[in-house]
Amino acid sequence: RMRDALQETERLAREFRAMLHQRRGDMDKLEQDSVRAGESGLDPAEVVRLLRATFSEVREQMDNDAIRVGELTVTDPLTGLGNRRAFDSALAAGEAAWKGGTALALVLFDVDRFKRINDQHGHRIGDQVLRTVAEVLRRKVDDCNRSLNDEAEGAGECASVVARFGGEEFALVLTGEGAQRAGEIAESVRAALESVNFAIRDGQGHVVEHGVRVTLSAGVAHARPGMAEPLADALFDLADKALYEAKREGRNRVRVVAGPI
């Protein structure tokens, strides 16, 4: 986890440096255009129009940078899912919604024996496995969203975030109708990944092993009245406990727990 955090920090620093370098170039160009416009002998109104257009372009680029920075800080670079920051924010928002009467559930996933995958096949293959898990998660959440929309227009989304929050660990924060279906969604993800037939390829793309199976375990927790405060922490602990039970009972399964009634 420390390695992942350092890599993310390094990635963000590189992105920020690149943006700053680009904007410095834009500011240099803005200065040059301003000088040329002032020395051009054009009508002052035309000079003002040109300068406003140039400033507007630079401002738009900086606004886009701000959006991009916001995306970078909540996105896992390997899978494209939300990162731990996005997960924490969604869980906090889910807690606030639950206190307003909206159902809330949390699903934690963990790829079974992932260290063995890395040891046997290398980190490149391990990264491919993580990207595949991410795609399965996205697809199953999309399926749930379509189902909700078919049943009731404007029913909302099943998951408020689909996140990789560390190593081989993934999470779904589910609210509303999505929370009611948490166990069903978790099982659909587990079954879908189990059916994937991985092929291991060398650096030249040649298949060196096929029929490799990857599974994951999941723990599901539903928020209930009487849970300890802060609710987000209590819910996470319950989901983590359920995940541990799934692992202890043989892996490749889903376990559901609920807080006090």
What residues are annotated to the active site?
168
**Element holding 235 (H helix, E strand):** helix 231-248
Please answer whether residues 187 and 204 qualify as being in contact, where contact means their C-beta atoms are separated by less than 8 angstroms: no
From CA 37, how far away is CA 117, in angstroms rounded? 62
Please answer whether residues 8 and 86 qualify as being in contact, where contact means their C-beta atoms are separated by less than 8 angstroms: no
- How many other CB atoms are there within 10 angstroms of residue 247's CB atom? 17
From CA 115, how far away is CA 191, in angstroms rounded? 21
Angle between helices 44-73 and 2-39 (to 10 degrees): 180
Q: Please provide residue 53's backbone torsions phi and psi, each rounded to the nearest 5 degrees.
A: -65, -40
**Element holding 257 (H helix, E strand):** strand 254-258
Give 141: exposed, middle or buried? Use CB within 10 Å, 0-12, 13-18, 19+. buried
